[in-house]
Amino acid sequence: MVLELFSLYLQGLLIAFVLVLAICLLWMFLRARSKKDKTAIEKQAFLYDILMIAILLVPVLSFAVMAVLLVLKS
């Protein structure tokens, strides 16, 4: 049972990581395309913000995805 939950958590972690990575890359691409950041300092600050958002969002989403996978599996 514990191994099955751990497997679901790892699957959720992988899915959440890919999802957050895709959203962050899309967000960075759209922001770079619209040229909102004029200086290198603004660009760097935005990259740090995206990194912090991704680091905090992946574990939360992994548990949410794990719950969905658990419901779908049962």
Per residue in 14-67, pLDDT tens? 999 999 999 999 999 999 899 888 898 998 999 999 999 999 999 999 999 999
Q: What does the longest C-alpha to C-alpha distance in the chain come to?
A: 53
Question: What DSSP string describes the chain?
Answer: -HHHHHHHHHHHHHHHHHHHHHHHHHHHHHHHHHT---SHHHHHHHHHHHHHHHHHHHHHHHHHHHHHHHHHH-
Residue 33 is predicted with a pLDDT of 92
Give me the pLDDT at residue 74, please. Answer: 82
